């Protein structure tokens, strides 16, 4: 499976990672049959500033995080450089990682999971609960995977 890139923090200088976000959004539609984002001329900026969490990982063995929008970084109480490049499993407390692994197996089998809920832990140790999330395989037009994506809005 091809492995996705490690990205630099979205900013005007890199067009808010527009190209990557367009690939992620197209993949979501391809896999789930529904749009991830409303139509926009600036999807990268809109995703970065969104009122939802959007995260991706590269699709490598460690599930290396390669994108998180500002909403997600705020939830995990850290900056881009502290979060990106880390294994995605660290987003969940150790005792909740087996349940997360089961969800990842379902994504590998069915390409996506809708309605995902689970406990997460910030870099500062604060626990929070995500609800009604979607996790999906990032698939390009040829069906080649380039990682995994996660989206959720509800946090408890």
CA-based nearest residue to 137, from 63, 70, 48 = 63
Domains of the chain (ranges, CATH numbers): 12-155 (3.30.450.20)
Q: 38-53: b or e for each residue (b if 16 or more CB lie within 10 Å)? A: eeeeebbbbbbebebb
CA-based nearest residue to 74, from 48, 95, 93 = 48
pTM: 0.94
The confidence band for 4, taking pLDDT boundaries of 50, 70 and 90, is: confident
Tokens of 83: 């979060």
CA-based nearest residue to 28, from 12, 41, 47 = 47
CA-based nearest residue to 149, from 118, 96, 113 = 113
pLDDT tens string 53-71: 999 999 898 999 999 999 9
- In 33-142 the beta strands, taken as DSSP E runs, fall at 53-57, 65-68, 112-121, 127-139
The confidence band for 2, taking pLDDT boundaries of 50, 70 and 90, is: low
Contact 1, 58 (CB under 8 A): no
Q: What is the pLDDT of residue 149?
A: 97
Q: What is the pLDDT of residue 6?
A: 86
Over range 30-43, report the average pLDDT: 94
DSSP-assigned beta bridge partners for residue 45:
none
pLDDT tens string 123-154: 999 999 999 999 999 999 999 999 999 999 97
CA-based nearest residue to 6, from 53, 66, 50 = 66
Tokens of 110: 């069915």
């Amino acid at each position: 499976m091809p492995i996705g890139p490690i990205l630099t923090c979205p900013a005007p200088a890199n067009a808010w990672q527009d190209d990557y976000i367009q690939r992620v959004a197209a993949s979501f539609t391809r896999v789930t049959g529904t749009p991830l984002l409303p139509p926009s001329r600036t999807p990268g900026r809109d995703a970065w500033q969104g009122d939802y969490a959007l995260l991706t990982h590269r699709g490598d063995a460690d599930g290396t995080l390669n994108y998180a929008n500002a909403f997600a970084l705020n939830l995990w109480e850290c900056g881009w450089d502290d979060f990106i490049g880390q294994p995605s499993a660290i987003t969940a407390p150790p005792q909740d990682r087996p349940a997360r692994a089961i969800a990842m197996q379902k994504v590998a089998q069915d390409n996506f999971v809708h309605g995902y809920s689970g406990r997460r832990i910030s870099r500062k140790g604060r626990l929070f609960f995500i609800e009604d999330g979607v996790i999906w395989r990032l698939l390009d037009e040829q069906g080649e995977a380039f990682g995994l994506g996660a989206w959720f809005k509800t946090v408890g």
